[in-house]
Chains A and B, each alone.
Chain A
Protein backbone atom coordinates (compact mmCIF):
# COMPACT_ATOMS: atom_id res chain seq x y z
CA UNK A 1 0.00 0.00 0.00
CA UNK A 2 1.33 3.40 -1.01
CA UNK A 3 2.36 5.86 1.71
CA UNK A 4 0.34 9.07 1.77
CA UNK A 5 2.08 12.38 1.19
CA UNK A 6 0.92 15.88 2.04
CA UNK A 7 0.62 18.49 0.77
CA UNK A 8 0.21 17.56 -2.88
CA UNK A 9 1.73 20.84 -4.03
CA UNK A 10 3.63 23.77 -2.52
CA UNK A 11 4.63 27.13 -3.98
CA UNK A 12 7.39 29.01 -2.19
CA UNK A 13 9.40 32.17 -2.59
CA UNK A 14 13.15 31.74 -2.58
CA UNK A 15 14.38 31.65 1.01
CA UNK A 16 11.15 30.32 2.51
CA UNK A 17 10.82 27.01 4.36
CA UNK A 18 8.58 24.03 3.66
CA UNK A 19 7.64 20.72 5.25
CA UNK A 20 6.49 17.63 3.38
CA UNK A 21 4.85 14.82 5.30
CA UNK A 22 4.69 11.10 4.62
CA UNK A 23 2.46 8.62 6.41
CA UNK A 24 2.49 4.84 6.23
CA UNK A 25 -0.23 2.39 7.24
CA UNK A 26 2.36 -0.26 8.11
CA UNK A 27 5.27 -0.49 10.54
CA UNK A 28 8.31 1.14 9.00
CA UNK A 29 11.66 -0.42 8.32
CA UNK A 30 13.05 2.56 6.44
CA UNK A 31 11.94 5.78 4.75
CA UNK A 32 13.54 7.04 1.55
CA UNK A 33 13.26 10.55 0.09
CA UNK A 34 13.79 11.30 -3.60
CA UNK A 35 13.53 14.40 -5.74
CA UNK A 36 12.54 14.30 -9.39
CA UNK A 37 13.05 17.09 -11.90
CA UNK A 38 10.73 17.31 -14.88
CA UNK A 39 11.56 14.68 -17.49
CA UNK A 40 14.22 13.03 -15.36
CA UNK A 41 14.51 10.01 -13.08
CA UNK A 42 14.02 10.33 -9.31
CA UNK A 43 17.27 11.10 -7.50
CA UNK A 44 18.04 9.85 -4.01
CA UNK A 45 18.20 12.44 -1.22
CA UNK A 46 18.40 10.47 2.01
CA UNK A 47 17.30 7.41 3.90
CA UNK A 48 16.14 7.07 7.48
CA UNK A 49 16.51 3.73 9.18
CA UNK A 50 15.60 4.23 12.79
CA UNK A 51 12.70 5.82 14.57
CA UNK A 52 13.33 9.42 15.50
CA UNK A 53 16.39 9.61 13.30
CA UNK A 54 17.17 12.86 11.56
CA UNK A 55 19.39 13.28 8.57
CA UNK A 56 20.49 16.22 6.48
CA UNK A 57 21.44 16.96 2.91
CA UNK A 58 22.49 20.56 2.24
CA UNK A 59 19.64 22.54 3.80
CA UNK A 60 17.26 19.62 3.48
CA UNK A 61 16.70 17.38 6.47
CA UNK A 62 14.25 14.68 7.47
CA UNK A 63 12.91 13.00 10.55
CA UNK A 64 11.08 9.77 11.18
CA UNK A 65 8.63 8.92 13.95
CA UNK A 66 8.54 5.14 13.98
CA UNK A 67 5.69 4.99 16.47
CA UNK A 68 3.45 7.23 14.38
CA UNK A 69 4.68 5.60 11.16
CA UNK A 70 5.39 9.04 9.77
CA UNK A 71 8.28 10.93 8.25
CA UNK A 72 8.75 14.59 7.41
CA UNK A 73 11.09 16.33 4.99
CA UNK A 74 12.22 19.84 5.91
CA UNK A 75 13.43 22.28 3.27
CA UNK A 76 15.10 25.30 4.82
CA UNK A 77 15.85 28.60 3.06
CA UNK A 78 14.66 27.12 -0.22
CA UNK A 79 16.61 27.70 -3.41
CA UNK A 80 15.38 27.72 -6.99
CA UNK A 81 17.12 24.38 -7.50
CA UNK A 82 14.81 22.77 -4.95
CA UNK A 83 11.92 22.87 -7.41
CA UNK A 84 10.69 19.46 -8.44
CA UNK A 85 8.52 16.60 -7.21
CA UNK A 86 9.45 14.99 -3.91
CA UNK A 87 8.62 11.36 -3.27
CA UNK A 88 8.78 9.43 -0.06
CA UNK A 89 9.34 5.71 -0.33
CA UNK A 90 8.68 3.30 2.48
CA UNK A 91 9.95 -0.17 3.16
CA UNK A 92 8.04 -2.08 5.77
CA UNK A 93 8.97 -4.62 8.39
CA UNK A 94 6.72 -7.30 6.96
CA UNK A 95 8.97 -7.69 3.92
CA UNK A 96 12.26 -7.25 5.73
CA UNK A 97 12.66 -3.79 4.33
CA UNK A 98 13.20 -4.95 0.75
CA UNK A 99 10.08 -3.83 -1.11
CA UNK A 100 10.05 -0.08 -1.73
CA UNK A 101 6.70 1.64 -2.27
CA UNK A 102 6.32 5.32 -3.10
CA UNK A 103 3.72 7.93 -2.34
CA UNK A 104 1.91 10.14 -4.83
CA UNK A 105 4.52 12.88 -4.65
CA UNK A 106 4.58 16.53 -3.62
CA UNK A 107 5.19 19.12 -6.32
CA UNK A 108 7.36 21.95 -5.06
CA UNK A 109 7.83 25.17 -6.99
CA UNK A 110 10.28 27.79 -5.75
CA UNK A 111 9.87 31.23 -7.29
CA UNK A 112 12.43 34.07 -7.27
Chain B
Protein backbone atom coordinates (compact mmCIF):
# COMPACT_ATOMS: atom_id res chain seq x y z
CA UNK B 1 0.00 0.00 0.00
CA UNK B 2 1.24 3.50 -0.80
CA UNK B 3 0.21 4.82 2.61
CA UNK B 4 -1.97 7.85 3.27
CA UNK B 5 -1.82 10.18 0.29
CA UNK B 6 -2.43 13.90 0.61
CA UNK B 7 -2.59 16.55 -2.07
CA UNK B 8 -1.39 19.11 -2.73
CA UNK B 9 1.89 19.02 -0.76
CA UNK B 10 2.12 22.79 -0.82
CA UNK B 11 -0.55 25.41 -1.37
CA UNK B 12 -0.14 29.17 -1.50
CA UNK B 13 -3.31 31.17 -1.82
CA UNK B 14 -4.57 34.67 -1.33
CA UNK B 15 -6.75 35.66 1.57
CA UNK B 16 -10.41 35.17 0.78
CA UNK B 17 -9.87 32.33 -1.66
CA UNK B 18 -11.30 28.85 -1.25
CA UNK B 19 -8.82 26.08 -0.45
CA UNK B 20 -9.48 22.34 -0.73
CA UNK B 21 -7.15 19.77 0.76
CA UNK B 22 -7.46 16.13 -0.23
CA UNK B 23 -6.73 12.83 1.46
CA UNK B 24 -6.78 9.19 0.41
CA UNK B 25 -6.60 6.90 3.46
CA UNK B 26 -5.05 3.45 3.53
CA UNK B 27 -7.40 0.86 2.09
CA UNK B 28 -9.33 -0.94 4.83
CA UNK B 29 -8.85 1.76 7.44
CA UNK B 30 -12.20 2.86 8.86
CA UNK B 31 -11.09 5.88 10.85
CA UNK B 32 -9.81 9.09 9.32
CA UNK B 33 -8.47 12.15 11.11
CA UNK B 34 -7.65 15.69 10.01
CA UNK B 35 -5.05 17.51 12.11
CA UNK B 36 -3.62 21.00 11.93
CA UNK B 37 -0.06 21.60 13.09
CA UNK B 38 1.30 24.95 14.23
CA UNK B 39 4.21 25.89 16.45
CA UNK B 40 1.90 27.36 19.05
CA UNK B 41 -0.67 24.58 19.33
CA UNK B 42 1.09 21.42 18.21
CA UNK B 43 -1.10 18.81 16.50
CA UNK B 44 -4.73 19.84 16.84
CA UNK B 45 -7.46 17.38 15.95
CA UNK B 46 -9.93 19.11 13.65
CA UNK B 47 -12.36 16.32 12.78
CA UNK B 48 -12.60 12.56 13.04
CA UNK B 49 -14.57 10.22 10.75
CA UNK B 50 -15.50 6.62 11.41
CA UNK B 51 -16.91 4.59 8.51
CA UNK B 52 -17.24 7.82 6.50
CA UNK B 53 -19.41 9.46 9.17
CA UNK B 54 -18.16 12.55 11.03
CA UNK B 55 -18.03 11.55 14.69
CA UNK B 56 -16.42 14.58 16.31
CA UNK B 57 -15.87 17.95 14.66
CA UNK B 58 -15.47 19.96 17.85
CA UNK B 59 -11.95 20.90 16.79
CA UNK B 60 -13.04 22.63 13.60
CA UNK B 61 -12.13 26.28 14.27
CA UNK B 62 -15.16 27.96 12.74
CA UNK B 63 -17.75 27.76 10.01
CA UNK B 64 -15.17 28.59 7.36
CA UNK B 65 -13.88 25.04 7.76
CA UNK B 66 -15.77 22.04 6.45
CA UNK B 67 -14.83 18.41 5.86
CA UNK B 68 -16.43 15.61 3.90
CA UNK B 69 -15.84 11.93 3.37
CA UNK B 70 -18.06 10.87 0.47
CA UNK B 71 -16.62 7.34 0.40
CA UNK B 72 -14.11 5.13 2.18
CA UNK B 73 -11.22 6.17 -0.04
CA UNK B 74 -11.47 9.94 -0.14
CA UNK B 75 -11.84 12.92 2.15
CA UNK B 76 -11.61 16.69 1.72
CA UNK B 77 -11.01 19.59 4.05
CA UNK B 78 -12.23 22.90 2.70
CA UNK B 79 -11.55 26.41 3.95
CA UNK B 80 -13.74 29.15 2.55
CA UNK B 81 -12.82 31.97 2.76
CA UNK B 82 -9.21 31.43 3.79
CA UNK B 83 -7.38 33.80 6.15
CA UNK B 84 -3.66 34.27 6.93
CA UNK B 85 -4.13 32.68 10.38
CA UNK B 86 -5.11 29.44 8.64
CA UNK B 87 -1.51 29.04 7.50
CA UNK B 88 -0.28 25.74 8.91
CA UNK B 89 0.57 22.17 7.97
CA UNK B 90 -2.53 20.03 7.67
CA UNK B 91 -2.16 16.29 8.20
CA UNK B 92 -4.54 13.50 7.38
CA UNK B 93 -4.18 10.19 9.24
CA UNK B 94 -6.01 6.88 9.08
CA UNK B 95 -6.19 3.73 11.19
CA UNK B 96 -8.39 0.67 11.52
CA UNK B 97 -11.35 1.52 13.75
CA UNK B 98 -10.29 -0.88 16.42
CA UNK B 99 -9.01 0.80 19.50
CA UNK B 100 -5.36 0.26 20.18
CA UNK B 101 -3.93 0.42 16.69
CA UNK B 102 -1.47 2.93 15.33
CA UNK B 103 -2.42 5.82 13.10
CA UNK B 104 -0.63 6.35 9.80
CA UNK B 105 0.00 9.92 8.71
CA UNK B 106 0.13 11.40 5.26
CA UNK B 107 3.00 13.70 4.31
CA UNK B 108 0.89 16.77 5.02
CA UNK B 109 -0.15 19.86 3.09
CA UNK B 110 1.71 23.07 3.91
CA UNK B 111 -0.82 25.87 3.47
CA UNK B 112 0.25 29.50 3.22
CA UNK B 113 -2.42 32.17 3.01
CA UNK B 114 -1.07 35.57 2.01
Contact = CB atoms under 8 A, between A and B. Distances in A.
Contacts of A101: 45
Given A41-B106, A41-B107, A42-B105, A97 B44 contact: no
Contact of B41 (A32, A87, A104): A104
A95 B45 CA distance: 14
Interface residues of B, number: 26
A40 B3 CA distance: 14
Nearest to B56: A99
Contacts of B56: 95, 99
Grouping DSSP codes into helix (H, G, I), strand (E, B) and loop, the B interface class, with mixed when no group exceeds half, is strand
Contacts of A30: 99-100
A100 B49 CA distance: 11
Given A102-B42, A104-B41, A32 B103 contact: yes
Contacts of A5: 42
Interface string A1-17: 01001000000000000
Interface of A: 2, 5, 29-30, 32, 40-44, 47, 49, 87, 89, 91, 95-105
Interface of B: 31, 33, 35, 41-45, 48, 50, 55-56, 91, 93, 95, 97, 99-108
11 contacts: A29-B100, A40-B107, A42-B105, A91-B100, A97-B100, A98-B48, A100-B48, A102-B35, A102-B42, A103-B42, A104-B42
